């Protein structure tokens, strides 16, 4: 959305992703294999606002959060279940 009088832009988004590994079995927390193949799903959300300063320069604020979960519990060498978030505030240059 763009608010014309103050020229502020606002964006929000959501994404869902699913991964299905046909050749990899899910594991229990002690490393034993289950009979199921590995699956992983991710959800992410972001919010963003911007204000134009001058010719391609915008004042920008953005926040994002994501969560990923899997049916495997063995995570000694690789994380399959995690969440992350990040924030940004500053100046964006579009060229």
Q: Which pLDDT tens digit goes with each residue over 31-76?
A: 999 989 999 999 999 999 999 998 889 999 999 999 999 999 999 8
Averaged confidence pLDDT in the chain: 92
Q: What percent of the chain has pLDDT over 90?
A: 75
Per the CB < 8 A criterion, the answer to whether 50 and 60 are in contact is yes
What tokens does 68 get?
């990923």
| Three-state secondary structure call for residue 44 | strand
Confidence bin at 6 (pLDDT 50/70/90): confident
């Amino acid at each position: 959305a763009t608010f014309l009088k103050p020229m502020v832009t606002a964006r929000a988004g959501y994404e869902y992703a699913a991964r299905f590994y046909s050749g990899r079995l899910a594991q229990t927390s002690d490393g034993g294999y289950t009979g199921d193949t590995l699956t992983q799903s991710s959800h992410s959300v972001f919010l963003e606002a911007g204000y134009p300063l001058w010719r391609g320069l915008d004042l920008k604020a953005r926040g994002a959060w994501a969560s990923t979960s899997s049916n495997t519990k063995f995570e000694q060498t690789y994380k399959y279940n995690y969440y992350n978030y990040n924030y940004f505030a500053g100046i964006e240059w579009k060229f």
